[in-house]
Amino acid sequence: MTVFVVGQTLVACYFLLWVLPYHGGTLVELGLLVLFALLYMWIAVGFWTAVLGFVLRLVGGDRYSLLKRYEGEALEATPLARTAIIMPVYHEPVYWTLSGLKAVYRDLERSGHLDQFEFHILSDSRDPNVWLEEQATWYRLCQELGAEGRLFYRRRRVNLNFKSGNVADFLRRWGRRYRYMVVLDADSLLSADTIVRMVQLMEREPNVGILQTAPSLINGESLFARVQQFSNRLYSALFATGLAAIQMGDAAFWGHNAIIRIKPFMAHCGLRKLRGFGLFRGPIMSHDFVEAAYMGRAGYEVWLEPGLSNSFEESPPTLSDELSRDNRWSRGNLQHLWILLFGRRLRLAHRMALLNGVMAYMASPLWLGFLILTTVEAVQMTVASIDYFPEGHQGLFPLWPEWRPEWALGLALSTLSLLFIPKFLAILDAVIHGTSRQFGGVVRLFVSVLVEIVVSVLLAPVRMIAHSQYVLGALLNVSLTWAGQNRTQETSWREALVTQFPGMLVAAGWSAFAWSLDPMFFLWSLPVAIPLLLAAPTSVLLSKVSAGQALRKLGMLVIPEERESVQVLDDARAARSDSRNASMLTAVEEAVVRPRLNRLHQALARDVRLAKREELLVPLVEHCGTAGPDSLSRSELSQLFRDRQSLAELHERAWQAPIDSFWGRRIAILSRKGRKRRTRSA
């Protein structure tokens, strides 16, 4: 693999040297050469990973994978160990998220293996309307599923160290109860069969510390989400197979849809705060790659197993949401530079995984730098007089600039081939393995890939500009607000224009300058400039659910899970489509006026009220009881609804309030809703 990547990069660099007018004889050209080598090598790694995956699938799979070790044996006979299924949440759509967890619970119940599993909802939510709804929904699920003593809810009052701190808090309190934990994200779904096989593989392989599945994207409605899930589902078969074969027991951990051996994880994967400067000081934001590296350092293996199917997650519905997520992720990935450089006794494979995470975002400013240096080179060759004795060139003989357009064309085509050949290999792989019909048939599959290529070409320069901004902001340590993910809202024209205007302005200015400089350079700039100029309409169009559904009706951009039923997905969709849980009251208002919910929240609240808290809470109860919760800040509401006595007093005041008061009107709404339900049931 290394020989292919390095050798191919050296050949490409040799061609670039002969394409450049001074053959690397100037500082600008040396800069171009270095940036080109870094970018080309990174692309070549992906290319050869896909080729390896294609070859391995052609010969029946990787014989060294964990599942292959037990082919022909009855994995089902392996006893299960006590396992926690944990779902850290932070300001997620509550009913939607916990309905997914309900589907996983139901699937395990049907499998007959539920007794070995317990579920934990680990909340870091700070908004009272969110965490009160979490508590209420958790309680309803416990009653509906008969899951008392098996489905638990805990909310941290102090939010430290992001998701990794949330999981660490769970492990300190309850980790010793379990041998393994399966980590889910808010949008994760795992089938019971996959979860059971993960536990059985861990039981068979005591030296494996983390076993990671390769999640498939699902439930895409917008055109953007459908393109993302189609490309993930089609191409990941090659890339995941190749990556697993390359990494073997030194794989990466992606933070969710994975199973972890708890004892070594607790002993070796604690994350100390970084001791550097700026971005490289404080808690580690992107914890997963680092935890995998620490698990490997402790002598345990980390495996990616593509054969573990029915592992799902969801894509952001719009380009704007993806870029907002990338703004957060870029900071965590860039922090890996510090661990890469100063982490001790880390395995080479894990250092390379950290470097790959860094390059996922650093590639954009490197590409932007390459374009800037190319523009400088064009200016020097067009405007400035030819320098026959450039920097570093000495002697009696001048260095004559040469142009080889045919070599430049060949180099460009070879670079594009690294990007596009894996996509067509994926089509061939689907045809060979008879799965093309699950993507709509060979013709529709081919057209879908062409659509995906067009969208990728349009989005690549947009992502380049955005990621370059994020990297610069991260290195300058600009503050960032964290929030839950949007899952439904389409992008408005106003939002798209505001978000994409800087890139559109840069593209227009660059193209105008290129035209004034040289028509050939202008044509060379168009593959980058046109997508940037079209960024706003592209963003709006891709966010449209109607556009995504129109292509689906034509049988394009479909995935196998949309053509064949998967029980856990069907259960999740059915639960999430249930509209009976819609309420006209906020979670805070329901916590006050509904007797059963008020008693629930009282049971989960603090029962100790010291003198200082008394002074704080008494006036808050008065304000909320008179003017309603909108008269208080989020922090004040949190103080109030964490106190048992305050909840009881608010409930009593609300039910004694006049009919025309704030709480009187809320109780009237509640009463009308109750009468409607009784009428419908009658």
pLDDT tens per residue, range 180-217: 999 999 999 999 999 999 999 999 999 999 999 999 99
* Position 12 pLDDT exceeds 60: yes
- pLDDT band with cut points at 50, 70 and 90 for residue 518: confident
pLDDT of residue 399: 52
* Position 488 pLDDT exceeds 70: no
Report the DSSP beta bridge partners of residue 212.
258, 304
* Position 374 pLDDT exceeds 80: yes
Mean pLDDT throughout 289-295? 94
Residue whose tokens read 């993507």: 439
pLDDT of residue 485: 53
Give the DSSP letter string of 118-163. Answer: EEEEEE----HHHHHHHHHHHHHHHHHHT-TTTEEEEE-SS--SHH
Task: State the chain's mean pLDDT as an integer.
Answer: 88
Q: Please give the Cα distance from 308 to 190 (Å, whole number).
A: 10
Q: Rounding to the nearest 10 degrees, give the CA dihedral for residues 498, 501, 503, 507.
A: 170
- pLDDT band with cut points at 50, 70 and 90 for residue 581: low
pLDDT of residue 678: 46
Q: Are 159 and 192 in contact (CB under 8 A)?
A: no
What is the 8-class DSSP label of residue 207? T
227: nearest Cα among 541, 3, 9: 541
Residues 628-664: b if buried by 16+ CB within 10 A, e if exposed: bbeebeeebbbbbbbbbbbbbbbbebbeebeeebbbe
- pLDDT band with cut points at 50, 70 and 90 for residue 519: confident
pLDDT of residue 583: 73
493-517 and 442-475 helices, crossing angle to 10° = 90
Report the DSSP beta bridge partners of residue 122.
88, 154
Q: Please give the Cα distance from 501 to 465 (Å, whole number).
A: 11
Q: Are 253 and 302 in contact (CB under 8 A)?
A: yes
Neighbour count for residue 126 (Cβ, 10 Å): 16
What are the pLDDT digits (tens) for 250-268? 999 999 999 999 999 999 9
Check residue 523 and give left, alpha or beta (phi > 0: left; psi -120 to 50: alpha): alpha
Instruction: Give the HSE-up count for residue 364: Cα atoms under 13 Å, Cβ half-sphere.
Output: 22
- pLDDT band with cut points at 50, 70 and 90 for residue 29: confident
First to last CA, the chain: 70
For 162-171, 381-390, 651-660, which range has the lowest pLDDT when averaged over its residues?
381-390
pLDDT of residue 671: 74
What is the 8-class DSSP label of residue 81? -
* Position 677 pLDDT exceeds 80: no
The two three-digit tokens of residue 650, written as one number: 């608010």
Q: Please give the Cα distance from 121 to 143 (Å, whole number).
A: 16
pLDDT of residue 76: 80
What is the 8-class DSSP label of residue 83? E
Per DSSP bridges, beta strands 208-212 and 301-304 are parallel
Q: Please give the Cα distance from 119 to 634 (Å, whole number).
A: 29
- pLDDT band with cut points at 50, 70 and 90 for residue 152: very high
Q: What share of the chain is helix, strand, coil (3-state, %, to 5)?
A: 65, 10, 25
